Amino acid sequence: MDRDTLCAWIRDAREKTLLYLEGLDEEQLIGPRLEIVNPPLWEVGHVGWFQERWMLRHAAGEPARLPHGDALYDSIQIAHRARPDLGLLPRAEIGRQLRELGARVVERVQSPAFGPDDEYFALLTLFHEDMHVEAFTYTCQTLAYRAPPYCARYEPGAGAPLPGDADVPGGAFRLGAPRGEPFVFDNEKWEHEVQLEPFCIARAPVTQREFAQFVRDGGYRRRALWSADGWRWRKGARAELPVYWRADGPRDFVRRVFDRWLPLAPDEPMIHVNYFEAQAYCRFAARRLPTEAEWEAAASGAPPAPGPGPAAHKRRLPWGDRPPDAARACLDFAGGGCAPVSAAAAGDSAFGCRQMIGGVWEWTASDFLPFPGFVADPYREYSEPWFATRKVLRGGCWATRARLLRNTWRNFFEPHRNDIFAGFRTCALRA
């Protein structure tokens, strides 16, 4: 890719990490001990270590630059519960190291020695940092901190519902990334044929208005709506409402957005629900979650298509191959949160589905499994350890970087996770 663009991306990602680091007070740098939250001071150090480990040491063959970096920041070797007690460096020193590492990587990108292998690892470490910047953002939500400095201040926008389903034909579909894609993660490789039955998928994600009706109708108390695992989670978590919601009168609710309590935004996507909650809502609504193959077909189909099947050609993004912008997708922290589901009409897929990229990550019914012929990339721990333990999510969210996404991008989380910026859309039980 163009080296000037790559350097700009590397600088931009590092700026976001430093803004997050500098926006926290001393107590917040460590935070409470929670299973799903890394100590912020540790996590920003891990971002720098990962860049140094793969881009400078592995790709460029340079000596280690971070004293005791492997002992402090290797997320595979260091148990989550041990991270707050590692004797982490102070904020100023970690900030200095991050600036120096970023500058050295930019120098490497600009040097004559920079080759295809370097480019792969430059992109790997860039996208790794982008994913952590998204994690920084939902960490602030989890801990009721104010929004990170790189986020716009969120204010609910006026919108409208977007009812109805899109009809997607059945037939052969090529699931996964094509070999011509310049960079993909190992779990996207490679596209392979699957057979789909015709299906109907919602044009928009489930809204806060729709999910509130599930809550009002006793959805969290109705055992018949929940799977065995889902009911076990609900009882263990003592969940009676979505996380970050509280009652405001007999039938109304408010929600916490970072450090502020606000009314529900009825026509915005439901956000911060886990797989079990999405599954229970689907039973309540006599609907179902799409499989990841169905989701990708609805997002990437591009008629006209000769013969049966969703499409003969796949779009890279729902609207085509043009990069995302505000008219097409809610990404890159714009607006500080979600937009109404009626927004971004220019980003509709060929079948009329809206906000399939951006807004909220969307749970699918699919287990996270390798595609046929899977071979792990050099960073083996990215996908391989997590197969068969997580569910697939698709599409990105308002805090995802636009440069990271495409229709084939697979996210994956344990089904109980409701801290991430995740929602869902539904399918009809029969086409």
Mean pLDDT score of the chain: 95
Q: What is the pLDDT of residue 5?
A: 97
Q: CA-CA distance, 346 to 207, in Å (whole number)?
A: 20
pTM of the model: 0.96
Residue 215 shares a structural domain with residue 187: no
Q: What is the mean pLDDT of residues 75-92?
A: 91
Residue 7 lies in a domain: yes
Of 163, 160, 161, 170, give the one whose Cα is nearest residue 298.
170
Closest CA to 181 of 131, 129, 120, 125: 120
160, part of any domain:
no
Percent of residues, the chain, with pLDDT higher than 90 = 91
CA distances from 48 to 93, 102, 148, 256, 400 (A): 12, 8, 19, 31, 19
pLDDT, one tens digit per residue, over 123-160 is 999 999 999 999 999 999 999 999 999 999 999 988 89
Are 188 and 327 in the same domain? yes
Residue 147 falls inside a structural domain:
no
Distance CA 280, CA 75 (A): 33
Gyration radius of the chain over CA positions? 21
Task: Identify whether residues 213 and 198 lie together within a single domain.
Answer: no
50: CATH: 1.20.120
**Number of domains composing the chain:** 3
- 413 neighbors 390 (Cβ within 8 angstroms): yes
Q: What is the CATH number of the domain that holds 193?
A: 3.90.1580.10
Under the banding of pLDDT at 50, 70 and 90, the label for residue 67 is confident
Regarding whether 105 and 52 lie in a shared domain, the answer is yes
Q: Are 79 and 91 in the same domain? A: yes
Same-domain status, 350 and 259: no
- Assigned domain for 156 exists: no
Determine the structural domain holding residue 245 and report its residue range: 208-266
pLDDT tens per residue, range 370-390: 999 999 999 999 999 999 999
Residues 189 and 119 in one domain: no
Q: Let me know if residue 16 belongs to a domain.
A: yes
pLDDT, residue 312, reads 56
Distance, in Å, from the CA atom of 213 to the CA atom of 102, rounded to the nearest integer, reads 48
Residue 184 domain-assigned (yes or no) = yes
Whether residue 14 lies inside any domain: the answer is yes
Alpha-carbon distance 52 to 102, whole Å? 9
- pLDDT at 403 exceeding the cut of 60: yes
Strands laid side by side in the 245-247 sheet: 245-247, 253-257, 260-263
Q: What is the pLDDT of residues 104-116, one digit of tens each?
A: 999 999 999 999 9
Q: Is the pLDDT of residue 308 over 60?
A: no
Q: Would you state the torsion angle of the CA atoms of residues 20, 23, 27, 30, taken in this order, to the nearest 10 degrees?
A: 10
Convert the pLDDT of each residue in 219-270 to its tens digit: 999 999 999 999 999 999 999 999 999 999 888 999 999 999 999 999 999 9
Residue 198: Cβ within 10 Å count? 13
Residues 330 and 399 in one domain: yes
Nearest-angstrom CA–CA distance, 103 and 216: 53
The answer on 261 and 294 residing in a single domain is no
Mean pLDDT of 288-312: 78
Say yes or no: 83 and 45 in one domain: yes
- Strands across the sheet with 287-288, in order? 165-168, 199-202, 427-428, 287-288
Residue 358 shares a structural domain with residue 421? yes
The reply to whether 76 and 190 lie within a common domain is no
